[in-house]
Amino acid sequence: MCGIVGYVGPKQAQDVVIEGLRRLEYRGYDSAGVALVSDGRIAWAKKAGKLANLEKVLSESPLPGATTGIGHTRWATHGAPNDTNAHPHLGNDARVALVHNGIIENFAELRAEVEAAGHELRSETDTEIAAHLLESALSTGATLTGAMQQVCARLEGAFTLVAVDAEDPSRVVAARRNSPLVVGIGEGENFIGSDVAAFIEHTREAMELGQDQIVTITREGVEVIGFDGAPAEGTRYHVDWDLSAAEKGGFDWFMRKEIFEQPRAIADALLGRHDRSGRLQLDEVRISDDELREVDKIIVIACGTAFYAGLVAKYAIEHWTRIPCEVELAHEFRYRDPILTRSTLVVAISQSGETADTLMAIRHARQQRSKVLAICNTNGSTIPRESDAVIYTHAGPEIGVASTKGFITQMVAAYLLGLYLAQVRGTSYADEIARVVAELRDMPDHVQRILDGADDLYALAEELEGARSVLFLGRHVGFPIALEGALKLKELAYLHAEGFAAGELKHGPIALIEPGLPVFCVVPPRGRDQLHDKMVSAIQEIRARGARTIVLVEDDDPGIEEFADTIIRLPRVSTLLQPVAAVVPLQLFACELASRLGHDVDQPRNLAKSVTVE
Ligand code: F6R
């Protein structure tokens, strides 16, 4: 949560920082602020609300020119999202300006200490304390880098800190523990960002920092040390996506663009993962085949939409590998003392790779000596770095806060993992695996055909604009899709929406059915006849009670028309792969409805793209 930017170089720092914040605004948009080092003093501005509010302030009262600066876009944790609590925060004598992402857990005792020493703290944040501590350390003659080192030694929790010193315009200093931070390496200029989107228009050369490291950027170079002061090195890498990938490309919302990118994203997720005969090769899985053969239990951990991808994964993995597979919300996982052994494989699914709940669950699993495999979209992020192995989803940057192409590629990666395990352990025949791989390769075309019919979904959204509540029903792998359809509607349209396993209806939820209530029903393919027929019975039952049934059903499934008020056609695919197709109409519907209701689809209220606090 929160986006942070730092710059030192020949350009106007304010422009670079504001542009960087614009690209990081998906991380939080409760307030924004900027601080510049100009003529031996800190010039700053900050404002509650979206970045546009800060830009208005800057245009009315411009800051002086400066070539060193930092910026922040906030997702509030401690303290209300108002002007005072916005970052940057200044030290007692306004010598230091500092921005922060994360939570300083021991801030209350530190606050009491500096207040006792006569400092006046202005905000309710945990952050401000770090600015005051930094300034105190500087007053003893330390450099900003040395002061940062002293302060980090005193802080507990998760933090990325970025600071500037009014008396030293040559450097920006940043530190990280359990929170994201990357360095952009330019020529005669260097950058700090929460992720590479912050500086991608200036450089594609990046450096990721390790845990508990401090980086000092100047025009001339980048220097990394550990919190203990020992010289350290970051890991350099080249960013292989460009600015246009992070822009809207003609769509009204990033989310809509990302929905339409899904055929390509699925194809990229499959790229290089199999040979011509369909035999899988997952080169990045750094766990040996022997170790994979010894796995006797799989636990998938994830949150939100990624958790639903995990639920889909369970059906596929158990079916193909016969290994028992549990799926657990990452934030519940370590608190229930799960049974983990050396032969448990923990699969952590995360689009951002920064979700704190998932990261903490990974650490717990590794402490118990279980192997962790991450399914992740963000190269160089913390979760893959802290895992034993990774399957990258290759969906490209996902900017819309609601996950779409991230989700679809998480499912694809989970299928690949299940099939790979089946191949290594010999639980499925090679021709069976090759058949599923071939079917996966057809999915981009199937999804494209659904996207080509988007107008029908938009018309449906127009019809249902007045709905107060919407239900989603599914069975088997259609159940997580029902949950995902409901989540999308909650988070984007702010509507009451629930997903249910259709078999559960009679055990309670059917009481919610009233005349006119829209209910989306995901019908399993006919391959699993019992499932299919039972779902059709459920549709009849709710229709008899007046529900408005919107039925997602495969092409040429006869006999469904009489129970459906609206039919959404899905391609004919095997049961386990149906979620990849079935989720797309639900994404389009939620995006369109939220847009019609006048909501900010890319930045829904109260949410942030990466949830980097527990
Ligand atoms: C919903 C959504 C969230 C995320 C969840 C996990 O549209 O995007 O529910 O899926 O916060 O995030 P990652 O996958 O980044 O760990």
Whether 603 is covered by a domain: the verdict is no
Task: Calculate the average pLDDT of the chain.
Answer: 94
Find out whether the beta carbon of 378 lies less than 6 Å from any atom of ligand 1. no
Range of the domain at 78: 3-245
Instruction: Ligand 1, residue 355: give the atom nearest the CA.
Output: 16
**3-state class (DSSP) for residue 592:** helix
pTM listed for this prediction: 0.82
Which of 393, 425, 444 lies at the terminal end of a domain, its last residue? Answer: 444
Specify whether 422 is located in the same domain as 326. yes
* pLDDT surpassing 80 at residue 243: no
Averaged pLDDT for residues 506-523:
95
> How far is 62 from 34, CA to CA, in rounded Å?
12
Specify whether 398 is located in the same domain as 290. yes
Find out whether the beta carbon of 305 lies less than 6 Å from any atom of ligand 1. yes
Beta partners for 60?
A: none
Helices (H), 34-152: 51-60, 107-116, 128-138, 144-152
Specify whether 175 is located in the same domain as 40. yes
Whether 609 is covered by a domain: the verdict is no
Which of 397, 421, 444 lies at the terminal end of a domain, its last residue? Answer: 444
What pLDDT does residue 247 have? 74
Whether 610 is covered by a domain: the verdict is no
Specify whether 501 is located in the same domain as 546. yes
Percent of the chain with pLDDT over 70: 100
Averaged pLDDT for residues 114-138:
95
* pLDDT surpassing 90 at residue 529: no
Averaged pLDDT for residues 89-113:
93
Burial (CB < 10 A; 0-12, 13-18, 19+), residue 371, is buried
* pLDDT surpassing 90 at residue 279: no
* pLDDT surpassing 70 at residue 269: yes
Q: Please give the helix or strand (H or E) that residue 406 lies within, else none.
A: helix 405-425
Total tally of structural domains belonging to the chain: 3
pLDDT digits (tens, 9 = 90+) for 393-434: 989 889 899 999 999 999 999 999 999 999 999 999 899 999
Whether 464 is covered by a domain: the verdict is yes
Specify whether 126 is located in the same domain as 200. yes
CATH code for the domain in which residue 550 is found: 3.40.50.10490
Specify whether 219 is located in the same domain as 297. no
Specify whether 461 is located in the same domain as 484. yes
Specify whether 474 is located in the same domain as 564. yes
Backbone region of residue 272 per phi and psi (left: phi > 0; alpha: psi in -120 to 50; beta: other values): left
CA distances from 183 to 23, 174, 377, 585 (A): 15, 9, 19, 39
Specify whether 494 is located in the same domain as 431. no
Of 75-84, 313-322, 365-374, the range with the lowest mean pLDDT is 75-84
Q: How far is CA 523 from the centre of its chain?
A: 29
Q: Please give the helix or strand (H or E) that residue 163 lies within, else none.
A: strand 157-165
Distance from the alpha carbon of residue 280 to the mean position of ligand 1, in angstroms: 28
Averaged pLDDT for residues 374-382:
87
What pLDDT does residue 87 have? 97
Q: Which residues are annotated as catalytic?
A: 2, 609
Ligand 1 pocket test: which of 303, 312, 360, 612 has the largest number of ligand atoms within 8 Å of its C-beta? 303
pLDDT bucket at 214, cuts 50 / 70 / 90: very high
In this structure, are residues 470 and 495 in contact, taking their beta carbons and an 8 Å threshold?
yes
- Tokens coding 294: 């010894």
Specify whether 359 is located in the same domain as 465. no
Specify whether 427 is located in the same domain as 520. no
What pLDDT does residue 28 have? 81
CATH code for the domain in which residue 83 is found: 3.60.20.10
Ligand 1 pocket test: which of 253, 307, 328, 351 has the largest number of ligand atoms within 8 Å of its C-beta? 351
Percent of the chain with pLDDT over 90: 81
pLDDT digits (tens, 9 = 90+) for 332-347: 998 888 999 999 999 9
Which of 201, 228, 245 lies at the terminal end of a domain, its last residue? Answer: 245
What pLDDT does residue 527 have? 75
Atom 7, ligand 1: which residue's CA is nearest? 402
Specify whether 65 is located in the same domain as 197. yes
CA distances from 119 to 109, 124, 135 (A): 14, 14, 11
pLDDT bucket at 443, cuts 50 / 70 / 90: very high
pLDDT digits (tens, 9 = 90+) for 19-28: 999 999 888 8
pLDDT digits (tens, 9 = 90+) for 167-209: 999 999 999 998 889 999 999 999 999 989 899 999 999 999 9
What pLDDT does residue 282 have? 81
Burial (CB < 10 A; 0-12, 13-18, 19+), residue 20, is buried
* pLDDT surpassing 70 at residue 1: no
- Tokens coding 377: 């979209």
573 vs 2, higher pLDDT: 573
